[in-house]
Structure 1
Amino acid sequence: MPAAVRFGVNYTPSVGWFHHWLDFDLDSVRADLDSIAALDLDHIRVFPLWPYFQPNRTLIRPRAVEQLLQLVDAAAERGLEVNVDGLQGHLSSFDFLPSWTQTWHRRNLFTDPDVIEGQATFLRTLADALADRPNFLGMTLGNEVNQFSAGPHPDPDRATGAQIDAWLERMLAACEEGAPGKLHLHAEYDATWYQDDQPFTPAQAARRGALTAVHSWVFNGTAQRHGRTSVPTEHHAAYLIELSKAWADDPRRPVWLQEVGAPAPLIPAEHAAAFTEATVTHALDCTDLWGITWWCSHDVSRDLADFPELEYGLGLLTNDRRPKEAGLVLARAAREHTYAPKPRTIALVVPADPAVRSVCAPGGPVFEAFFRLTADGARPTTVLDVRADDKEHLAARGITEVVRPDQVLPTPQGGTRS
């Protein structure tokens, strides 16, 4: 891995939020990108809303694609590379699905042949249009599309793990057909790692696509259970990075911390900078880290209704493009960080069976044992139970000691670690 990690931001337009595609204003976009570039970040992740770009299964609006290209070119003028999410999908509590998948045309997003063909065509079209842009990093299939596949979504598109695997293969192939050799990947929210009935599995996340993406949000029970300045809260992103490595076949597979932010009120605004600094510092202690992409660039305008309260203040910049203290912290890290983490030599055993992956969730024995080790000064990683005795695998990752959660946590009677 390089001596520097990529630092970027998920781009939330300051005017109109992602609805800016309906009234696209290139001057406003340029002003937003100027304020991002001033933080010394090197890339952005952008979100073309799927129903705005493909309102009919056989209509991908040329004007919308051209506006996306204008945004990417404006980013290039400011030294910013761009990752483009395709199937939006789900953003900030709102679902954006085209009408040809809903109500009278209700069809499963992951198994219906016509929907799959439409999705693949859309991803291939975007990738092909972007392929010759030198600052185009690659495609992410969509933002946290796994939330559509199971509860707690109120109307999930149920699918088996095998069906999801076939869907991922088809979508990633479509991106590669459109833009060969680019960094194409998929990204899910943390139910992939924590929820037993999720058909999107940890193995898929860690083995399909050019790298592994993790999205770290401490409102998942971590901050509620442990508090704002606790070891689990400040190390949660590092934990997901290291947890993902248990399932990777490539011992040096890159991991992208693609989403992480400071959600109020669990992380009050006055503490967002400290949380940002702690999260970044601990993530930089993980080997094979590709980059850190903060959520998000600009605050959501209070003129827009019905967002969850936390969404309005997540920006590194205010809605009028002024940098906040957390933004200055990330800018300083981007400028000054060095990246030379040593291998983590102690590995915590994780069950390979995704049907019991909730042991890795907040409150579960893997989760709690990882942070007990961390609090004691160790630098743990994870390993699957089926690889715990694989000397070649352990050596390739620099692991010299393997422990089980029950060897780390106190006994039920309150005794000490065995």
Structure 2
Amino acid sequence: MSSPAPRFGVNYTPSQGWFHHWLDFDLDAVRADLDSVAGLGLDHIRVFPLWPLFQPNRTLIRPRAVEQLVQLADAAAERGLDVNVDGLQGHLSSFDFLPAWTRTWHRRNLFTDNDVVAGQAAYLRTLAAALADRPNFIGMTIGNEINQFSGPPHPDPDPVTPEQAGSWLRRLLDACEEGAPGKLHLHAAYDAAWYQDDHAFTPAHAARIGAVTAVHSWVFNGTAQRHGRTGTATEQHAAYLIELSKAWALEPHRPVWLQEVGAPAPLIPAEHAAEFTEATVAAALDCQDVWGITWWCSHDVSRSLADFPELEYGLGLLTNERKVKPAGESLARIVAERRGTTYAPAPRTTAVVIDAGDDETAPARSVCAPGGAVFDAFARLTGEGARPTAVLASRAEDKEHLAARGITEVVRPDQVVPSAPAAPTDPGAARDPVG
């Protein structure tokens, strides 16, 4: 089937001061950054206000900060770039940014305290309303991988149940809709939602709540460690997450946004980042219903800034001096080649069965993690030239569902990989969430 052409964009990391640039906002520097992004031929950016700077008190949302966000969006529009805004930052590149009114002496649960959630809703509603009349405003993402605050491996988690997590997501998405009706509002999670058995944010949340499903594909979660930089599972990891999400979606062609994906060193050495970029994007574009691909990230983190994990410094498509790197050249070439072409990948007719227990909470979802039976079966089939997708065990004999997705063959993991799989990787132990 033919779908709207996928969007191509980048997660905007300012070249000067990283996200601390909000402290001394320089619109001219932002414009120069966006010139370099637009020069790659991309059509959108994902933007990250720092929550404590925008809402330092529960009842104070700083008008000047909101005005600066609007200025950034308008500067993007001048360069032909649309804008998605992540509200609750939340967590970025191994650092947490939470306002003082949620911590220490004012310690309250981010997901269940009524006052905190009301404050979050007011904040998201305010940002959305400020941008609602901008034609280049895509919509809000609730926050960046904020699910990492809900449990291990976070050192100071805010515990929440799956039911409470779902209620929190719906309340905050409602606030975004109230602020900017009709825009594309969504939420995003790091891959514990798909891979970690007891994680409160579930695949059903990801694939059934919000306007589109967001997936964040990072191969340092055990994938590249097991399979190497050129392994099928590594180059196909983004495509795997896209197809995995379809198993839980209620609509057969729900859009999926590959909202974060990057080439993390040293697992993907700098000299091979371009090759990885090309392989990853090609694999993702072989999936149906891709809303867009948004690379992490625009500009490198300056070496003058301390204490980042080593991999964070070199993830940019551009240097701090706004020079295009090889991965940026590759993505720009892909965008240019795709422009004007038809996006119509064929259906994936073979589906690997996922038996993760209850569909809503997926208590055994580690079968989908690197080293799990579903993951290994998908990689094996792909390596043999197949184009697999995934289906829940509860739907494996649902002829109407299978037909709607174009599935003609259903296989169990043990039919693909008969030997017992290695113990799945614990995504909490394998990674500190990026982005």
1:370 is the counterpart of 2:378 = yes
1:109-133 CA-to-partner distances (Å, cap 9, x unmatched) read 0000000000000000000111000
- CA distance in structure 2 between the aligned counterparts of 1:3 and 1:47, rounded to whole angstroms: 26
1:234-253 CA-to-partner distances (Å, cap 9, x unmatched) read 00000000000000000010
1:188-207 aligned within 5 A: 188-207=189-208
User: 1:333 Cα shift?
Assistant: 1.1
1:19-58 CA-to-partner distances (Å, cap 9, x unmatched) read 0000000000000000000000000000000000000000
Correspondence for 1:416: none
Q: 1:17 to 1:131 in 2, by over 3 A?
A: same
Correspondence for 1:39: 40
1:363-402 aligned within 5 A: 363-402=371-410
Q: Matched residue of 2:169: which SS?
A: helix
- CA distance in structure 1 between the aligned counterparts of 2:210 and 2:271, rounded to whole angstroms: 38
- CA distance in structure 2 between the aligned counterparts of 1:18 and 1:9, rounded to whole angstroms: 15
User: 1:411 Cα shift?
Assistant: 3.1
- CA distance in structure 1 between the aligned counterparts of 2:82 and 2:307, rounded to whole angstroms: 32
User: 1:330 Cα shift?
Assistant: 0.6
Answer yes or no: is the 8 Å Cα contact 2:128–2:140 preserved in 1.
yes
Paired residues, number:
413
Q: 1:412 to 1:194 in 2, by over 3 A?
A: closer
1:349 is the counterpart of 2:353 = yes
Deviates more, 1:220-229 or 1:352-361: 352-361
- CA distance in structure 2 between the aligned counterparts of 1:175 and 1:351, rounded to whole angstroms: 34
- CA distance in structure 2 between the aligned counterparts of 1:329 and 1:190, rounded to whole angstroms: 26
- CA distance in structure 1 between the aligned counterparts of 2:323 and 2:4, rounded to whole angstroms: 30
Correspondence for 2:427: none
User: 1:412 Cα shift?
Assistant: 5.0
Cα RMSD after superposing both structures? 0.9
- CA distance in structure 2 between the aligned counterparts of 1:318 and 1:27, rounded to whole angstroms: 18
- CA distance in structure 2 between the aligned counterparts of 1:396 and 1:2, rounded to whole angstroms: 15
- CA distance in structure 2 between the aligned counterparts of 1:160 and 1:335, rounded to whole angstroms: 45
Answer yes or no: is the 8 Å Cα contact 1:352–1:386 preserved in 2.
no
- CA distance in structure 1 between the aligned counterparts of 2:405 and 2:6, rounded to whole angstroms: 20
Answer yes or no: is the 8 Å Cα contact 2:356–2:367 preserved in 1.
no
1:309 is the counterpart of 2:315 = no
| Equivalent position amino acid for 1:391 in 2 | K
User: 1:140 Cα shift?
Assistant: 0.2
Answer yes or no: is the 8 Å Cα contact 1:196–1:355 preserved in 2.
yes
1:92-112 CA-to-partner distances (Å, cap 9, x unmatched) read 000000000000000000000
Correspondence for 2:368: 360
- CA distance in structure 2 between the aligned counterparts of 1:133 and 1:412, rounded to whole angstroms: 54
Name structure 1 gaps, 5 residues minimum.
414-418
Correspondence for 2:433: none
User: 1:340 Cα shift?
Assistant: 1.6
Correspondence for 2:299: 298
1:254-269 aligned within 5 A: 254-269=255-270
1:10-409 aligned within 5 A: 10-337=11-338, 338=341, 339-353=343-357, 354-409=362-417
| Equivalent position amino acid for 1:218 in 2 | V
Q: Matched residue of 2:210: which SS?
A: coil
- CA distance in structure 2 between the aligned counterparts of 1:268 and 1:185, rounded to whole angstroms: 32
Q: Matched residue of 2:56: which SS?
A: coil
Q: Matched residue of 1:213: which SS?
A: strand
Q: Matched residue of 2:57: which SS?
A: coil
User: 1:9 Cα shift?
Assistant: 0.1
TM-score relative to the length of structure 2: 0.94
- CA distance in structure 2 between the aligned counterparts of 1:383 and 1:69, rounded to whole angstroms: 42
User: 1:334 Cα shift?
Assistant: 1.2
- CA distance in structure 2 between the aligned counterparts of 1:214 and 1:305, rounded to whole angstroms: 29
Q: Matched residue of 1:316: which SS?
A: coil
1:224-273 CA-to-partner distances (Å, cap 9, x unmatched) read 01101000000000000000000000001000000000000000000000
- CA distance in structure 1 between the aligned counterparts of 2:139 and 2:420, rounded to whole angstroms: 49
1:277-335 CA-to-partner distances (Å, cap 9, x unmatched) read 00000000000001000000000001100000000000000011000010011111111
Q: Matched residue of 2:419: which SS?
A: coil
Deviates more, 1:324-333 or 1:136-145: 324-333
Name structure 2 gaps, 5 residues minimum.
422-435
Q: Matched residue of 2:390: which SS?
A: strand
User: 1:191 Cα shift?
Assistant: 0.4
- CA distance in structure 2 between the aligned counterparts of 1:278 and 1:335, rounded to whole angstroms: 16
Answer yes or no: is the 8 Å Cα contact 1:8–1:44 preserved in 2.
yes
User: 1:373 Cα shift?
Assistant: 0.4
Q: Matched residue of 1:395: which SS?
A: helix
User: 1:351 Cα shift?
Assistant: 2.0
| Equivalent position amino acid for 1:94 in 2 | F
- CA distance in structure 1 between the aligned counterparts of 2:279 and 2:180, rounded to whole angstroms: 36
Q: Sequence identity, in percent?
A: 79
User: 1:410 Cα shift?
Assistant: 3.0
- CA distance in structure 2 between the aligned counterparts of 1:88 and 1:18, rounded to whole angstroms: 10
| Equivalent position amino acid for 1:286 in 2 | C
